[in-house]
Amino acid sequence: MSAEIDFYELLEVERTADDKTIKSAFRKLAMRYHPDKNPGDQDAEAKFKQINEAYGCLSDPQKRAAYDRFGHAAFQQGGPGGPGGGAGFGDGNFSDLGDIFETIFGGFGGGGRQPARRGADLRYDLEISLEEAFHGKNTEISVEISQACEPCAGSGATPGTATRRCNMCGGQGKVRAQQGFFMVERTCPTCGGRGEVIEKPCKHCHGEGRVDKPQRLEVEVPPGVDNGTRIRLAGKGEAGPFGAPPGDLYIFLHVARHKVFERDGTTLLTRAPISFTTAALGGSIELPGLDGAKHVIEIPAGIQSGKQLRKRGAGMPVLQGRGAGDLVIEIHVETPTRLSTRQRELLREFQETETGEECPQSKGFFERIRDAWNDLTE
């Protein structure tokens, strides 16, 4: 790469320029010096190559970080070679770009062998009733989970034997390969990044360091949970390979449908049919709540179907909080379908005394119908 002209000067931007500014400057200059617009102009062609070289570096975050710290020498095989005799390189003993990145970022893989991979998180679906969601519950579940192999203590090696250093990577867990100007690192294909190789795999786990076993776990369901509430059991997931830490187990709750109540957040909803006499004269009804108490609901005289009555604090408890929602009762007036002879007589007597004022909505409706009809016939 060229070491004569600063990349930022080439692109005519400040060293603090963001990616968008750098990209915009590159496009502008590339159009100006493109060989197609400057046929036969060798200076323009050389400038075009320098611009592409500068943008290729500054558009890549890692390359830009290396360039900002070490200048052009960051991309030279022989160490410092940029202007100023490699100033800012320390002792200047960088044999390749991989060494430079390792100094800046701790290496592609963080330096040394790769850390042990944590075990996977697991999911368990648990169905509970609405009453259990209201009160909370402690329950026990059984789930088959990968656990550390006991005979080999999770090492994957036959008890009494040891692992050896991987010959492919020399125990580093990664290997390097030269690709042009760059030294590329990748996980060692022989040891999978561990830096060690098992000579004699454990017969119980076949060298995995973990086996599947049924496990019984206690789950505490707090009051107020809802569909989709997630409970985390830390460290109860799948065991990590070769003694690595386990993942977590997540319990997803599903609340079963209830025969009487529906739920909307902390609000409990139910529909209560009442007789037309109760609706006309008023009265009260009793509803058993999920809290075990009997809630008396007062019915005002003249209530209509669809009217909602509210009992404060008789709904679902607030999850991990204080207080509770409300119980909402939607009233539906039921018309009697089975009347005795005496009841029919009484209703006819009542009908004979009706003036229309008893049901103002009905009266108003039919008056509007009559007026509309008269308008049509006039």
Write down the pLDDT at residue 93: 38
pTM across the whole model: 0.57
DSSP 296-331: EEEE-TT--TT-EEEETT-SPBPTTSS-B--EEEEE
Write down the pLDDT at residue 116: 61
Query: Are both 7-105 and 118-157+205-256 of the same fold?
Result: no
Phi, psi of 153 (to 5 degrees): 55, 30
Binding residues, by number, are 149, 152, 166, 169, 188, 191, 202, 205
CA dist., res. 172 & res. 183, Å (int)? 16
CATH 1.10.760.10 corresponds to the domain 7-105:
no
Per-residue pLDDT of the chain (378 residues; tens, 9 = 90+): 334 578 888 899 988 888 889 988 888 898 888 877 888 888 888 888 888 888 888 888 878 887 777 777 666 644 333 333 333 333 333 334 444 444 444 444 444 555 567 888 999 999 999 999 999 999 999 998 888 888 888 888 888 887 888 888 888 888 887 666 667 788 888 777 778 888 888 888 888 888 888 989 999 999 999 999 999 999 999 888 777 888 999 999 999 999 999 999 999 999 999 999 999 999 999 998 898 889 999 999 999 999 999 999 999 999 988 899 999 999 999 999 899 999 999 999 998 998 878 777 776 776 677 767 776 766
Of 3.90.340.10, 2.60.40.10, 3.40.50.300, 2.60.260.20, the CATH number of 262-334 is 2.60.260.20
**What one-character DSSP code corresponds to residue 242?**
G
Rounded to 10 degrees, what is the CA torsion of 21, 25, 26, 30?
A: 160
Write down the pLDDT at residue 64: 85
Binding residues for Zn(2+), by number, are 149, 152, 166, 169, 188, 191, 202, 205
Whether the CB-CB separation of 184 and 202 falls below 8 Å is answered with no
Write down the pLDDT at residue 360: 76
CA dist., res. 319 & res. 222, Å (int)? 7
Task: Tell me the CATH class for 118-157+205-256.
Answer: mainly beta
**Residue ranges per domain, the chain?**
7-105, 118-157+205-256, 262-334, 341-377
Write down the pLDDT at residue 209: 83
